[in-house]
Amino acid sequence: MKRIVFALTGVALLAGAVATTAPLSGQPHGEAAPIYGITIPAGYRDWHLISVRQLTGAGGKLKQLRAQLGNDIAITAFREGKLPFPDGAIIAALHWNKVASDADNQVLASGFPGAGLESSFAGPAVNVQFMVKDSKKYAASGGWGYADFTNGKPGNEALHKTCFACHQPAKDRDYVFTHYAATP
Amino acid sequence: MKRIVFALTGVALLAGAVATTAPLSGQPHGEAAPIYGITIPAGYRDWHLISVRQLTGAGGKLKQLRAQLGNDIAITAFREGKLPFPDGAIIAALHWNKVASDADNQVLASGFPGAGLESSFAGPAVNVQFMVKDSKKYAASGGWGYADFTNGKPGNEALHKTCFACHQPAKDRDYVFTHYAATP
């Protein structure tokens, strides 16, 4: 989802943080994203973890923590290194504004004086993005459909037009930038 | 897991990054951690996402991305705001060294010139830690047992002696620092 993540980042830079009231089911409503016609998959919040990421920039104005989750088909493909991803694979990218807790950092300072430890964590939700594999339906975009939702509402067509082109640099990995994080 | 996470951080500061070869099952072997006798729960890598976190410090030498996962009992309790956590709840904290990809950042620079965007993601695994709720077995430590594993091997007794005391600041949240991240 990286490049579409970047595209959304552009929106985030303009819109700033967006707190969400979306239910835990991850299905705020059924409005479909433009071009690819993708709605928010029910229950995506419970999918397995692929990896985590941080995105910073805009002179310190942008500070996000992110998680990529996958449905069972996507996770199995990641683990087996199966490329291209099979039809039915869906990757979700959840983005939060990164926040810090003074209380947390005071605990760190008392536990490890002089170490200068700072902790930050996922704060208000910013947006969620999806890549949906359907080699026939989305044949014109590398077999993937793309969708971006902020507070449950899909981004506009201009945003979604950027997705496929942006994922081109990852063509040799079936347009997926994210790698499966090692198991500690 | 925050405070025990911090405790492990101390070890990480000394040991540096530790790449893992642990199998995806999350069960490198059955060696139990001291004091609490906890082994790595099979399949923890597939548990649901609670939240994500970043820890930095040591003059820039420590840069970690972290994820907290929970088993079904823990996740249900988080969602329902149920405190104390019921017996059987287990929280896993996965820690990775944060790494960056020049190729990723080149894509960002080309997509958003001037935004100064920088992306980083989970690199080599450092360690994994667990909180296991058993109000009777672990009555002396707030009902929680604690365990820390690096490359599948448990930390020593001195490390595990720090866990409960470190979690005291979160006593009003049943000794759990981590909050359930919002659903975008």
CB atoms A120 and B53 under 8 Å? yes
Contact B151/B166 with Cβ under 8 angstroms?
Answer: no
Structure confidence at residue B104 (pLDDT): 85
Residues in chain B with CB shorter than 8 Å from the CB of A176 are none
Structure confidence at residue B107 (pLDDT): 82
| Gap from A69 CA to chain B (nearest CA, Å) | 9
Which one of B4, B8, B46, B54 would you mutate to disrupt binding with A, by most A Cβ within 10 Å of its Cβ?
Answer: B54
Residues in chain A with CB shorter than 8 Å from the CB of B3 are 107, 111
Structure confidence at residue B29 (pLDDT): 55
| Gap from A29 CA to chain B (nearest CA, Å) | 12
Residues in chain B with CB shorter than 8 Å from the CB of A165 are none
| Gap from B34 CA to chain A (nearest CA, Å) | 18
Taking the CA of residue B117 as centre, how many other CA atoms within 13 Å lie in the half-sphere pointing to its CB?
Answer: 28
Structure confidence at residue B169 (pLDDT): 87
CB nearest B54 (choices: A13, A65, A178): A65
Structure confidence at residue B32 (pLDDT): 97
CB atoms B65 and A54 under 8 Å? yes
pLDDT tens digits for chain B (184 residues)? 443 344 333 333 323 333 333 444 444 458 999 999 999 999 999 999 999 999 999 898 999 999 999 999 999 999 999 899 999 999 999 999 999 988 888 888 887 788 899 999 999 999 999 999 999 999 999 999 999 999 999 999 999 999 998 898 899 999 999 999 999 9
0.90 cut: is pTM over it? no
Give 10-residue mean pLDDT values along chain A (184 residues): 39 33 49 97 97 94 97 97 96 97 85 87 97 98 98 96 90 94 97
What does chain B come to in residues?
184
Structure confidence at residue A111 (pLDDT): 75
Taking the CA of residue A177 as centre, how many other CA atoms within 13 Å lie in the half-sphere pointing to its CB?
Answer: 30
CB atoms A95 and B124 under 8 Å? no
Structure confidence at residue A28 (pLDDT): 47
| Gap from A133 CA to chain B (nearest CA, Å) | 21
Q: How many percent of chain A have pLDDT more than 90? A: 70
